[in-house]
Structure 1
């Protein structure tokens, strides 16, 4: 029986990961959250309700249980990573940290794992509120990959999309186009990576069985320019996007990067992982969301 702990796991790709793990008959899944968000798993999972930023409470909750894999979807600071390194030092056989494309600075060239090296990055400790998102993730990687006694991997995901995306970043663009509202795009030619939520969950699942360690990029095959994103939305809605280089803050695109920001996945592919083709799933997701949002807008009228 494999014993799996998921920190997070009640929404988006974390929830999909738990569902994937539960398909295996020989797997016991425990989710650790604050207990605020209902998960819908019923009696299929064990639950630990605790604030993971409280190191003492976290240690008491997990005790000396041995975990085949610990998935950490909610680590945003070096303090949280340091606590995990101590608490799971003798009980985690493998640790998978959800990290981010955000550890990289945008730029014209494709981004490889070596472009941010957590093993040589200057270590500073601090809580989530002491750092911006990028720095928090950089330092979390640095702590786990240099100080932890257990084997660890840090998965660098780009923006994750899906019908279940609670941040509704793609929804934002589609709704603006449907309403004829201008969207602020600083650089329509900037290239970006994406990954679909079920694809992200499948990658995390597979990584639990892999020996792959250290930082690893994971994204769908291919890129889209931000302008192409709007063109696809225009095709699926039958309406042309209104794009400006600058708008009011609330109308600036969540994808509105000034430079390209996309990743190479050779390391993951070299370990046997395969990814979906962005050009195949992205238009279909836009179509699905556009149909849903158009109906919602009609209902509001």
Structure 2
């Protein structure tokens, strides 16, 4: 049994993680800004994780075996967490992203973790990380720098789980699959790059399984979490009712979700060697589409 703090995580795969922890008999504390209460059985702490004093006061004298940080997006947030949780946790699991590889070449086997060593990433705390528009526009860079803060003379053992694009679940709030369904239904064109690259994905239940597994492990540093294989835009759209699909190639500008000007394939062999058994993305893709779009599509 572990004493686990989950920061954020009240929706999508975060809530599934909390359910798994509770079912396993772990003591679970959930900290958020009070927007929604956690499931029965979890302790609820209310604080803004960007407010260091409020965060410290909300935690009181609590200590944890593991902290799972679902909402660390910037180096500023990581710096606060590093100070607040030093001496409070024996392990820190940060949910990171495949987007940290936005500048890296992805070989056929996928990009490995050492392509972005957080110990070598420059951190700039003077950038306007507290501005939502800036933060959203620099999502991958924010995660890179957040990892770098944790990696610099670590205050506690940590891992950064670099999550592939997540699919599946009736509660997918992103609207990405609905984007395609709407265009297939209306006959509107689907904007894709002229050279459209594949990416790695992971099912919502599988990433919840992975994070639950990571809570009980002791490895440190970055780790890629992705189902086996890559998917293309064509493969995803082929499982969505309607059509036929009309793809419109663009050289620059906005393209549809899950269409990429560069490859976002990740090498998941480190996690596999550590003992996690991934599924194949092509096996669960039809189910993921059906779950998300439901009977209306």
The offset of 1:28, in angstroms, is 1.1
State the alpha-carbon separation in 2 of the partners of residues 31 and 211 from structure 1: 22
State the alpha-carbon separation in 1 of the partners of residues 293 and 139 from structure 2: 30
State the alpha-carbon separation in 1 of the partners of residues 165 and 249 from structure 2: 21
State the alpha-carbon separation in 2 of the partners of residues 173 and 119 from structure 1: 39
> Within 5 A, what are the aligned runs for 1:1-301?
1-25=1-25, 27-39=26-38, 41-42=39-40, 44-105=41-102, 107-109=105-107, 110-126=110-126, 127-129=129-131, 131=135, 132-163=138-169, 164-187=171-194, 189-233=196-240, 237-246=241-250, 252-294=255-297
Maintained 8 Å contact 1:187/1:226: no
Maintained 8 Å contact 2:193/2:252: no
TM-score, length basis structure 2: 0.90
> Is there any run of 5+ residues in structure 2 with no aligned partner, and where?
none
Maintained 8 Å contact 2:45/2:58: yes
Report the 3-state secondary structure (helix = DSSP H, G, I; strand = E; otherwise coil) of the residue aligned with 1:119. Answer: helix
State the alpha-carbon separation in 1 of the partners of residues 253 and 115 from structure 2: 31
Report the 3-state secondary structure (helix = DSSP H, G, I; strand = E; otherwise coil) of the residue aligned with 2:118. Answer: coil
State the alpha-carbon separation in 2 of the partners of residues 118 and 162 from structure 1: 30
| Segment drifting more, 114-123 vs 6-15 | 114-123
The offset of 1:262, in angstroms, is 0.8
> Is there any run of 5+ residues in structure 1 with no aligned partner, and where?
295-301
With over 3 angstroms needed to count, the CA separation of the structure-2 counterparts of 1:108 and 1:66, relative to structure 1, is: closer
| Segment drifting more, 103-112 vs 60-69 | 103-112
The offset of 1:190, in angstroms, is 0.9
Maintained 8 Å contact 1:101/1:157: yes
Deviations 1:84-107 (A, max 9, x none): 111110011100000000100264
With over 3 angstroms needed to count, the CA separation of the structure-2 counterparts of 1:202 and 1:180, relative to structure 1, is: same
The offset of 1:232, in angstroms, is 3.0
The offset of 1:287, in angstroms, is 3.3
The offset of 1:188, in angstroms, is 6.3
TM-score, length basis structure 1: 0.89
Q: Which has the higher helix share?
A: 1
State the alpha-carbon separation in 1 of the partners of residues 183 and 242 from structure 2: 13
The offset of 1:64, in angstroms, is 2.3
User: What's the C-alpha RMSD, in Å, of the aligned pairs?
Assistant: 2.0
Maintained 8 Å contact 2:31/2:45: yes
With over 3 angstroms needed to count, the CA separation of the structure-2 counterparts of 1:227 and 1:128, relative to structure 1, is: farther
The offset of 1:247, in angstroms, is 11
Report the 3-state secondary structure (helix = DSSP H, G, I; strand = E; otherwise coil) of the residue aligned with 1:258. Answer: coil
With over 3 angstroms needed to count, the CA separation of the structure-2 counterparts of 1:212 and 1:227, relative to structure 1, is: same
State the alpha-carbon separation in 1 of the partners of residues 119 and 6 from structure 2: 25
Deviations 1:180-224 (A, max 9, x none): 221111146411111111111110111111111100000011111
Deviations 1:248-291 (A, max 9, x none): 988x3122211211100111011001111101000222234444
